[in-house]
Structure 1
Amino acid sequence: MNGWLLTAGIAAAAVAGVHVVAGHIDPVRPLLTSALPEIPKRTMHAVWHWVSADLVLTALTLIAVAITEPAGTEMVALLTAVHFAAYTVVFVIIAAALPGPRRLLRLPQWILLAPIAVLALVGAV
């Protein structure tokens, strides 16, 4: 069993849970009640669900490869590390563009995503 990948998978599952619960309360509800036109509103709602599915499936993948260690585990772990690193970079860039102080803390999702990238990367090598 690969403990690094198992830890990454458990962390990813926790992030998926936070995304589904807190994400529905904070960004999704205001989005759905906003004055945005229906097509962009529903597109963003679908993207939120898409990310929910992505986070859950990635967590399950990390846990499965951690426990079974099939051929290709290293590649799956490496690609998953890059996947979460990309999520992290996107949030950091968008947060850094916000006006005012403490920009990076106003969109703190990257703080949850970065450790998963690191854990998956360490588990890949």
Structure 2
Amino acid sequence: MNGWFLAAGLTSAGVAAVHTLAGGRDVVRPLLAGNLPQEPRRVLHAVWHMVTADLILAAVALIGLGLHHQPGDNLVAWLLAGHFVAYAAAFLVITLMAGWSKPLLRLPQWMLLLPVGALAAVGAL
């Protein structure tokens, strides 16, 4: 058993829940009600659900690594760690480029994603 991977997986499951519940209310509903043309609106809606699936599958993979860790599993762990760090970096770059006041709090998703990447990376060491 690897407690770091298990913690990363449980944190990822929490991120998936926040994404689904809060994001559905605060992001998807306004997106679907907005004035974007149908095609980009539907593409963004599909991408939303792809991210939902991605977060859930990553949580399952990390929990699986945590419960049944084998030394050769570290490549998968490093890929999952990089995956979450990349997601966090995307949110940080986009929010910092927006020119908002208190930008780190405007799109706080990075605060949920970065710990998953850090926990998975520590577990892979």
Q: Fold-level match, TM-score > 0.5?
A: yes
Amino acid at match of 1:2: N
* Alignment partner of 1:80 is 2:83: no
Runs (4+) of structure 1 exceeding 2 A deviation are: none
Distance 2:17 2:121 in 1: 22
Q: CA shift at 1:74, angstroms? A: 0.9
In structure 1, runs of 5+ residues without a counterpart are none
TM-score, structure 2 normalization:
0.97
The corresponding residue for 2:62 is: 62
Deviation of 1:104 after TM superposition, in Å, equals 1.4
Q: 2 CA distance for matches of 1:100 and 1:93? A: 12
The aligned residue for residue 43 of structure 1 is 43
Structure 1 vs Structure 2 CA RMSD: 0.9
Within 2, Cα distance between the matches of 1:100 and 1:52?
Answer: 27
**SS of the counterpart of 2:35?**
coil
Q: Which residue of 2 aligns with 1:112?
A: 112
1:12-34 Cα distance to aligned partner (Å, 9 max, x none): 00000000001100010000000
The Cα shift of 1:71 comes to: 5.4
- Once the two structures are overlaid, the 10-residue window that deviates more, 47-56 or 65-74, is 65-74
Q: Which ranges of structure 2 fall in alignment gaps of 5 or more residues?
A: none
CA offset digits 1:16-74 (Å, max 9, x no partner): 00000011000100000001000000000000000000000000000011101145311
Task: Calculate percent identity across the aligned residue pairs.
Answer: 50
Q: Residue 60 of structure 1 aligns to which amino acid in structure 2?
A: V
Equivalent residues, number: 125
Q: Partner residue of 2:25?
A: 25
Deviation at 1:100, TM superposition (A): 2.7
1:5 aligns with 2:2: no
Deviations 1:58-96 (A, max 9, x none): 000000111011453111111110000100100000000
Name the amino acid aligned to 1:65: L
SS, match of residue 69 in structure 1? coil
Q: Which amino acid aligns with 1:118?
A: A
